[in-house]
Structure 1
Amino acid sequence: MSSPTLSDRAVARHGWAQAFVTVLGGLVAMGAVAALGLWAAGAADLPDGSFPPVVAAIMIMSVGGTVKLSGDIGVLAGTEGGLTVLPLSVTLTGALVIGWGFLRPLRHRAVAGASELAGWAARIAALWLLALLALALAARHTFEISLGDGPLGDLGDLFGITPEVGFSTDVPPAVLIGLVWLAGVLVLALLVARGAPLPGRLLRLQTSVRPAAHATVQLLLAYVVIGLAVALAVAATRGHPAETFAVILLGLPNVAWPALTIGLGATWDGRVEGPFGLPMPHVLDEVLRTPDVTALNLGTLAEHDGRVWWLVVVDAVLLLATAFVMAALSPARIRPWQHAVHLAVALALAVLTICLMARIDARLGLSVLGIGDLGEGFSGQVLLRPRLWSALGLALLWGLVTGFVGALLEREVRRRGRTGR
C-alpha cells in the first residue's frame, strides 16, 4: 500500500468543519442582507408571519431559483404570476463569502492537486445541497389579502371571497441551479484570486486567463462601489432613505452592472406596469412606466436626465484602468494586441453574465368572476431584457480598443520606470 501523498494529507486537513463554516458563513451573510433589504422595502409588515419564508425565497432567487405566485380561492376568483429576478446584492454577498471561505485553506500554496481541490469543493457542495433543500422547502407561504373598498371589495363582500396569495419554489430546479451557481463561484474564485493555487496542468492559466479575469472582476466590483457611493449621496440629499437602502441591499448590482452596459451603448427593453415595482432609481421608473415595452439606453435616459452621458466617460476611464491592471499582472512578453484580445473576450463574457443575471420578469394578476382587469392595485408587471447580441458586439469593440490603449500605457509606464532606475 502506498503512503499518503502531500495532496492527500491536504485533503484531510480541509475537513467537514471548515466546509460547514464556509457554507454557514455564506448563508448567514446572504440571509442578513436579504432580511435587511426586505425590511427597508417594507416587507416586515407582510401578514401571517410570512417574512421568514420571503427571506428564504429571496435567498433561493439569489442563486437562480424562481418563485411562483398563485392563489386558490375557488372558481369565483384566482391569482397567477411569477417572479424571475436575481437580487444581485444577495448573490454577490454570498459569492464573496463562499469564495473567500473556499480559498482560505489553500492560501500560501503555489500548487494544489486536482484531487485536493475536487475533494474540498465536494464537501462544500454536499453541505450546500442540504442548505438549498432547506431553503427551497421553507420558501413557500400563503396569506390573505384585502380587496379594499372598490369594486373588488364589493364583489368580495357579496360572495364571501377572501383571496389568498401564495408563493412557492420548484425544489428540484432550484437545487440544481443552486449547485450550478456554487460551481461557478468556486471556479471563478480559482481563476480570479492571484494567490490561489492551481493544479500543475492548469498553471498556464496564471498568465493567459487569470490577469484578465482578475482585472474584469475588479471592474465589476468598482461599478458596485461607485453605485453605492451614488446611492448613499442620493439618500443623504433627496430623502427616501428606506427605499434607497432597499435598492442597495437587494439590487445594487442590478442597477450598477446594466449601467455599465448602457455606458457601452447597449440597449435594454423594459416596462413597469401597475402600482408596484422592484426597487429601482426614480429615473428608470419614469422611462419604463409606459403603455408598451420601451427601449432603455443612453438616448432615452438622457431625455429625463442629461447626466447619464457621464456613463460613457466612466466606462472609458474604468476600462482603461482595467486594461492597465491586466497588462501589469501579465508577463512582459505578451504584446498589446494580445492584451486587447484578452480584454475583449473577458469583457464580452462579463457583459453576457450581466445580461443573463440582471434580466427581470415579474407578473401578478388578480381576477374575480373571470374579470381580470378589476382592481388595478392588484395587477402589474416589471420587465427588463437586454438586446444581447448588440451588447456583446459593443463589449468586444470596447475591449479591443481600451485593451490595446491600456496595454500601451502600461508598457510606457514600465519603460519609464526602468529608465528612471
Structure 2
Amino acid sequence: MSHSSPATYLVWSILVSLSCLFLLFHLWSFDRFQCLKWNTGSSGAFKRVMTYSYMITVPLMMIYAYGFTIIKYQQGFIEFEGAIIPKPYNLWPESDQRVIFPLMLVFSLAWGLEMITHLEELCFWFFLVNSGSVQQDWFRSWYFRSWIFGSVVAIVYMPLLTIATRDDPLRCEAYTVLGGSLGSLSLTLWFTPVLYAFPTFLDSLKREGVDIGTIVRLTKFHELNMIRIVFRFIFVIPFIILGVDGIKPHHHINEIMLWTDFLIMIAAFGVCISSALTLIIFFPRSIEGEIALKDAARERRLNRANGGRSGTGAPYGQTSFSSGMPGGQLPAPSQQRYSLDGSSFSLPQKYEDERGMPESLPKILPPMRPNRRRGEDVEMGGFTGLTEANISQHNMRRVPSGKLNPMVHNFRSPIDLYEVEPQLAFTQRW
C-alpha cells in the first residue's frame, strides 16, 4: 500500500469497474435482473446466499480500489535518498491515515466473500463428480456441510486478521494479503483433482445415455473452470510473494516499486477475469432461449398492432385466406385485406415484407417425424421442437441411471440445482 504507486490502484479501479459493467450486462441479458430479487420463483436460501455473497464482493472491491486511488493520487510522490518514491503513509494527513483501516477491512470482507464463492464451487463439483444414485441430495451431503463450515471460517477469520493487526498499517496489509492468498491458494489447489477427474466423469455420462445438451453444458463448464483456475493462480501467487515479504523484517520486494506494481497489477487481472468466469458459470445464458423470447415478443407486438386479433380460436383446416375483393383481385399492397373466420382486417405492407404472411394467422403444430431406417439402424421419430427441460425429463425416464445421480439430467448451474430454466421466469415481461 505504502510502497505501490498511484497507477497500481488506478489499474485496480479500471478493472473492477469493467467487471461491474460486465456483471450488469450479463445479468440483464440473463433474466433482466430477476435473479437479484429476494423472492424469485422457487429460489431457496442457498441460492440467495450464493447470489448476494457474489454480488456484494464487486462493490466492496470498488470501494477499496477507488478509496486508495484517490488517496494515492492526492499524496503523490516524494524524493528520498535521491529516488522518487510514493509518499509513505506516515507522512499522510491524519484524515487520510484514518481511512486506511476501514478500506483494509472492506478489502478483507470482500476477500472472505470471494472465498465463500470459490469454496462452494469446489465442494459442489466434488459432489457432482463423486455422487452416485444413492447420494442424490446436495443439501444433505457432507460436501454441503463442509461448505457451510468453511464459509463461516472464511467470513470470520479474514476481518479478524485485519482487526488484530490494525495498529501497524503495513503489518495489517501484509497479514491480510498473506492470510487471504493462502486461503485462496488452498482452494485452488484442491480444485485441480476435479479438473483431472472431469473428463472421466463426462465419459461416464455418455455411457449412461445422458442427453447431448447436458454433456455439452458440462463440457463448457469444464473448459471454463480450467481457464478460471489458471487465472486464480495468477491472482494468488503474486499476493503470496508480497505477503511473505511483507511480514519479514527486511522487505526485498515491497521496497522496489517496479516489482510491487507489477505483482499487484497481475493479481488484479487474475481476480477480475476469474470472477467474470465464475459469473458465467453461476448464471449461464441460453442464447437459443433468448432468441425465442425475442421472437415471441415481436409476435405479441404485431398482434397488438393488429388490434389483438390473433385468430387462435380458428380450428385448423377451417381458416380461410382470401383477398376480400370481388373476382379475386388484390388491392394495393398498403390496402391488402384478409379474412379469418368471417372477420376482415388489413395489415400494413411492412408486416408482409418482414414475415411473408400475416402474423395473425394460426401457427402450424410442430411436425411429427416418422421412424426412418438408416442402414442397419432405425432413427426414432417424434415431435420436433422439444424444450431442453422436456428432453431432460424424457431421458430421466428412459435411461436406467443405476450409477448416475438424477440431478445430472436437469443440471443448469452450481447454484441453480433444481429449478427450471431462468428465462422462463421473465417470459411474461416480454
Q: Same fold (TM over 0.5)?
A: no
Structure number with higher strand proportion: 1
Structure whose alpha-carbon radius of gyration is higher: 2
Q: TM-score range by the shorter chain?
A: under 0.3
TM-score (normalizing by structure 1): 0.26
